[in-house]
Chains A and B, each alone.
Chain A
Amino acid sequence: ILNVEQSPQSLHVQEGDSTNFTCSFPSSNFYALHWYRWETAKSPEALFVMTLNGDEKKKGRISATLNTKEGYSYLYIKGSQPEDSATYLCAFSTSGTYKYIFGTGTRLKVLA
């Protein structure tokens, strides 16, 4: 059974703090790793898709890294703002299929 783990489950940070979360996934049959940002009552928003070991992607204050050999990805948020409050999901997909296996997400609350 393929399992994707995310940690921490939730965290609170002060506005201006930088933070990071972890996504662990199986290292075999890797195809892609996806990060989504999910605000309450909205659609999950695609942040990054990463396919190559060592990939680093950046979008504004948010960045992500990928290590496919050891099976983990980090998501970093620099200078957190209240509008960054959301659940951050990662999903892993395997070679030969378009199916995603999701982690349970990290719920971030940024306090003003």
Chain B
Amino acid sequence: GAVVSQHPSRVICKSGTSVKIECRSLDFQATTMFWYRQFPKKSLMLMATSNEGSKATYEQGVEKDKFLINHASLTLSTLTVTSAHPEDSSFYICSARKSGGGTDTQYFGPGTRLTVL
């Protein structure tokens, strides 16, 4: 087990619209989920840590009002890119850490490619 799904896999939207990306742990509970962003030829960069039932913790330089994160259940976290602009175009990927596990292994979704026109 330890499967994480992410939807949609690809989205194209107009500038000014909001886009929601879902991250689900399919066969385990995840108290903590993480959202990453990858720029071309760069490493995965942590945007925020999402904790079930509490506010997300954002990394330095990440606008919390631009990237809204909700972790309403132990199997679902959502990232909403609000009023998207072309510079928000990127690859976004989530991961989940098993609740109660002794390891800090993160299990990843397949990612979402966002293109803002």
| Chain A residues packing against B (C-beta within 8 Å) | 4, 31-32, 34, 36, 41-44, 46, 49, 89, 91, 93, 98-105
Contacts and interface: CB of A to CB of B under 8 A. Distances in A.
Interface of B: 2, 4, 9, 32, 34, 36, 41-46, 49, 93, 97, 103-111
Interface of B is mostly: strand
B49 A98 contact: yes
For B34, B93, B105, which residue has the most chain A Cβ atoms within 10 angstroms?
B105
Interface of A is mostly: strand
B105 A4 contact: no
Contacts, number: 52
For B32, B97, B103, which residue has the most chain A Cβ atoms within 10 angstroms?
B103
Given A41-B110, A42-B110, A43-B4, A34 B46 contact: no
Contact of B108 (A44, A93, A98, A101): A44
Contacts of B4: 43
